[in-house]
Amino acid sequence: MLRHNMTCPECGNFTDTVTDPIGKPALLRPGSVMICLYCGHVSIVADTRGNVREPTTDESLEIHQDPLMRLVLACRKMVMERKKEKPHGKG
């Protein structure tokens, strides 16, 4: 089983929770796409030890053309912009 304690290669934040974009139990495996909710960086799970790698050019194109991935990235961006506007979580 793949451990869920990974570090984002972009921002260095520790990721110990994994969620499927539509709320189903997440099954990470090599090749899974990981989106860091701290910084929005997109990585690919490289192996069963929890290492991640940068997506290839083809993978990056596929990810950014996938409607669900586009929705997840847009939602993340919207939430982060709201946090900047209301840093104390009010409203």
Minimum distance between the CB of residue 67 and Zn ion, rounded to whole angstroms? 23
Minimum distance between the CB of residue 48 and Zn ion, rounded to whole angstroms? 21
Contact 2, 50 (CB under 8 A): yes
Measured torsion, CA atoms of residues 39, 40, 46, 47, in degrees rounded to the nearest 10: 70
Residue in 34, 35, 47, 48 with CA at minimum distance from that of residue 2: 48
Contact 45, 28 (CB under 8 A): yes
- Residue nearer to Zn ion on the CB measure, 11 or 74: 11
Q: How many residues bind Zn ion (CB under 5 A)?
A: 7
- Residue nearer to Zn ion on the CB measure, 26 or 37: 37
Minimum distance between the CB of residue 38 and Zn ion, rounded to whole angstroms? 4
- Residue nearer to Zn ion on the CB measure, 10 or 66: 10
- Residue nearer to Zn ion on the CB measure, 1 or 41: 41
Site for Zn ion in 25-84 (CB under 5 A): 36, 38-39, 41
